[in-house]
């Protein structure tokens, strides 16, 4: 199931959400085409590597100081066009309404904190991983958690593909996002059962989603409709 849009108008321009999308796209273009040492080195330097956080006391002062910074920089990196495009589509659909309720400043804080907490959730599950954790999906999972809490009955225009069956449905947010969240839990459980770190940070998605709901409550969103 792929969300295409929602029937949930906002009262003001989602400026921060638009700027976040622009930042992600700009950084990806730089990473892919202009990074001096190449995209792989750029990701290794600016992506969040759990193992480095586990071994901070064994690194030099400069290196130790840099590792926490990657909790933020890793949020803005992506592994390919599909990774970037799917994340930005979700952010475009769900982010504007959350920003509308939180306001510009609180939404930016909310987004970054969700991304950081999502990365830390992945760290707790795989502290020894040497693979860089990148992508906005943890932060966007937080946005989705906030969205479904605020607008559980909002209708989401969704593309459903089952083998050769292709149809567009207008599904309630609680159903679509609920299925997505259950999928993340089942995938994370499978990862634990097989003792293998997948290419997708399932625990970051779960952690980001939970963080989104809790942070939303802490930041006291506008209750006006």
Q: What is the pLDDT of residue 58?
A: 59
**Measured CA distances, 18 to 14, 34, 99, 108 (Å):** 6, 23, 10, 11
Q: What is the pLDDT of residues 50-73, one digit of tens each?
A: 988 877 655 555 566 788 999 999
Q: What is the pLDDT of residue 111?
A: 98
Q: What is the pLDDT of residue 62?
A: 58
pLDDT confidence tier of residue 139, bands split at 50, 70 and 90? very high
**Distance, first Cα to last Cα, the chain:** 28
133 DSSP 8-state letter? B
What phi and psi, each to the nearest 5 degrees, are found at residue 42?
Answer: -60, -45
d(CA 2, CA 149): 20
Q: Choosing from 78, 122, 126, 137, which is the catalytic residue?
A: 137
Percentage of residues of the chain with pLDDT beyond 90: 66
pTM above 0.75, yes or no: yes
Beta bridge partners of 67: none
Q: Choosing from 86, 129, 205, 223, which is the catalytic residue?
A: 205
Average pLDDT over residues 150-170: 88
Average pLDDT over residues 100-106: 94
Residue (of 105, 78, 97, 183) closest to 144 by Cα position: 97
What phi and psi, each to the nearest 5 degrees, are found at residue 40?
Answer: -65, -45
Domains and CATH numbers, the chain: 2-219 (1.20.1540.10)
Average pLDDT over residues 14-39: 93
137 is catalytic: yes
Residue (of 48, 193, 206, 194) closest to 123 by Cα position: 48
Q: How many CA atoms lie within 13 A of 39 on its CB side?
A: 12
Report the run of H or E that residue 89 belongs to, with start and end.
Answer: helix 81-102
223 is catalytic: no
Q: What is the pLDDT of residue 178?
A: 95
pLDDT confidence tier of residue 16, bands split at 50, 70 and 90? very high
Q: What is the pLDDT of residue 60?
A: 57
Q: What is the pLDDT of residue 174?
A: 94
Rg (CA), the chain: 18
């Amino acid at each position: 199931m792929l969300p295409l849009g929602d029937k949930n108008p906002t009262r003001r321009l989602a400026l921060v959400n638009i700027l976040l999308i622009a930042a992600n796209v700009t950084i990806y273009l730089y990473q892919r085409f202009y990074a001096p040492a190449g995209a792989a080195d750029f990701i290794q330097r600016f992506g969040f590597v759990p193992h480095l956080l586990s071994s901070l006391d064994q690194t030099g002062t400069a290196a130790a100081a840099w590792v926490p910074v990657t909790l933020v920089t890793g949020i803005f990196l992506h592994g390919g066009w599909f990774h970037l495009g799917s994340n930005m589509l979700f952010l475009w659909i769900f982010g504007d309404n959350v920003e509308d309720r939180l306001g510009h400043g609180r939404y930016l804080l909310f987004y970054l904190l969700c991304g950081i907490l999502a990365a830390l959730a992945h760290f707790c599950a795989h502290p020894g991983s040497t693979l860089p954790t990148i992508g906005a999906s943890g932060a966007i999972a937080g946005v989705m958690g906030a969205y479904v809490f605020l607008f559980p009955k909002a209708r989401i225009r969704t593309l459903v593909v089952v083998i050769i069956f292709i149809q567009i449905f207008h599904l309630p947010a609680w159903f679509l996002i609920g299925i997505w969240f259950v999928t993340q839990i089942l995938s994370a459980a499978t990862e634990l059962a097989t003792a293998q770190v997948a290419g997708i940070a399932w625990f970051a998605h779960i952690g980001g989603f939970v963080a989104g709901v809790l942070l939303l409550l802490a930041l006291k969103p506008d209750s006006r409709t």
